[in-house]
Amino acid sequence: MLHVAMISTGEEVLHGDIVDTNAAWLSRLFFERGFALSRRTTVGDQLEGLAAEIEHCSLTSDVVIVNGGLGPTSDDLTAQAAAIAADVGLEQSDYWVEQMREKYQKLNIVMPQSNLKQAMLPEGSELLENPIGTACGFAMKLNRAWIFFTPGVPSEFKKMAQEQILTRLKATYTETEKLDCHRFYTFGLSESGIGDTLASVSLPKGYELGYRSSLPFIEVKLFAPATDTNALAFQQQMIDLLGENVVSIGQTLPEHVGAQLVAKQLTLSLAEQCSGGWLTNWLQDYPDAKAQLRQGWMLGTVETAELAASDQLASALAMATASREKTTSDIALVSGPLYDGKVAVAMATPDGDWAQVISTKRQYGSRDMRSLIATVMLDMLRRWLDDQPVMGQFSSLNRESEIFLTS
């Protein structure tokens, strides 16, 4: 079995000032390509500690990826630590000095002397090109491991990992089998509930099932050997078990809804109070959905006495109808104000109008609440577009009341 380790460096990563997205990205990429990580560690900007971790991983792993610490400042210690671990000195790469100078010349800037540090590499190491930034990577053989040193800037790291490191690993370790990841997204179910439901699915050897909870969705991932033609059948079995709470397959919910709107040539308008413009902003990241969005309003919430559920429904329905008519759009989605933990969401369509008053089963912060309500709105639209019942069943929500009016 091939043992692959990753070492992340930096005080900002170790102490949680920034999220280590590079490690998560690499873990996922390598797993799918057949090089699953067996160890991940984080070390601060401490020379001796980093050198010791590099040496330890070189003795226990076949491949090691070290990320970060290749910059020009005093706390960038990775090259020096690698040299200590290998018991060699540092030598300047004249080639990389020239590459850095050319990068600065294109910007009409004189290269600072401090950047020369980025060309100091352990003796005998192999330089890895960085076409984006000034921090080259390098590779070296130490004990049983090939160790690859990479910059911490995500765009630079990802390009180097994909185009140089992964390419090299695939050529060297030909026995590993690539995995395909078949993914779909659910809304309104708990992770434990999904796990219980899918427990009846018997997967063959070489398959692996994974979950990623990111409010308000739970992503279900089926990893299968790329050569296995039965993966889609197993995925469909799981989708059938989870039913209408599967909101999209192989793409996010906004992507799915956007594609449906384009295919059916339907336009959309939004009026948001409780969701605070969340849905309008969310759809801007997806070209199809953005193209079909005719208007988005963010409406303030005026403090007033608590409304009865029937009044909330009527108000939301009236707002949806008015939004649709005013913008001459095909569909309007609305979130009303939050009253005593309850909010009305409504949708007006050519086929009729729907509204529901919902409350949450637990307390959410403002950001999570806005995200949740926006997702309920978009899921109503998704269900209507997919010819499913518009009112879904959600384990995290209570439906206080609902109404449907035919057009």
Residues 241 and 254: their CA atoms lie apart, in Å, by: 23
Beta-carbon contacts of 360 under 8 Å, excluding residues fewer than 6 positions away, are 341, 369, 372, 396, 397, 398
**pLDDT for 116 beyond 70:** yes
pLDDT digit string, tens, across residues 376-394: 999 999 999 999 999 998 8
What pLDDT was estimated at residue 231?
94
Say how many C-beta atoms besides its own lie within 10 A of residue 262's C-beta.
Answer: 14
Domain 179-249 top-level CATH class: alpha beta
Token pair belonging to 383: 């269900």
Q: What is the mean pLDDT of the chain?
A: 93
What pLDDT was estimated at residue 32?
84
Mean pLDDT confidence for 126-145: 97
**pLDDT for 306 beyond 60:** no
Residues 362 and 354: their CA atoms lie apart, in Å, by: 25
Superfamily of domain 253-406: CinA-like (3.90.950.20)
Please report which confidence band the pLDDT of residue 304 belongs to, taking 50, 70 and 90 as the band edges.
Answer: very low
pLDDT digit string, tens, across residues 209-220: 989 888 899 999
Nearest Cα neighbor of 299 from 270, 332, 321, 324 is: 270
pLDDT digit string, tens, across residues 56-109: 999 999 999 999 999 999 999 999 999 999 999 999 999 999 999 999 999 999
Beta-carbon contacts of 165 under 8 Å, excluding residues fewer than 6 positions away, are 65, 128, 139, 148, 150
What pLDDT was estimated at residue 249?
96
Residues 324 and 347: their CA atoms lie apart, in Å, by: 9
**pLDDT for 303 beyond 70:** no
pLDDT digit string, tens, across residues 156-182: 999 999 999 999 999 999 877 788 889
Residues 298 and 272: their CA atoms lie apart, in Å, by: 5
Q: Where are the domains of the chain?
A: 4-172, 179-249, 253-406
What pLDDT was estimated at residue 308?
63
Confirm whether 4-172 and 179-249 share one CATH topology.
no
Confirm whether pTM is higher than 0.85.
no
Look at strands 4-9 and 352-360 and give their pairing: unpaired
pLDDT digit string, tens, across residues 256-300: 999 999 999 999 999 999 999 999 999 999 999 999 999 999 887
Q: Which ranges of 107-252 would DSSP assign to H, the alpha helix?
A: 154-160, 166-172, 191-198, 231-242
What pLDDT was estimated at residue 30?
93
pLDDT digit string, tens, across residues 219-247: 999 999 888 899 999 999 999 999 999 99
Contacts 24+ apart (CB under 8 A), 200-204: 200/241, 201/234, 201/237, 201/238, 201/241, 203/234, 204/228, 204/230
Mean pLDDT confidence for 27-31: 91
Task: Name the amino acid, one letter, at 142.
Answer: L
What pLDDT was estimated at residue 56?
98
Q: What is the CATH number of domain 4-172?
A: 3.40.980.10
- Please give the helix or strand (H or E) that residue 63 lies within, else none: strand 63-67
**pLDDT for 302 beyond 80:** no
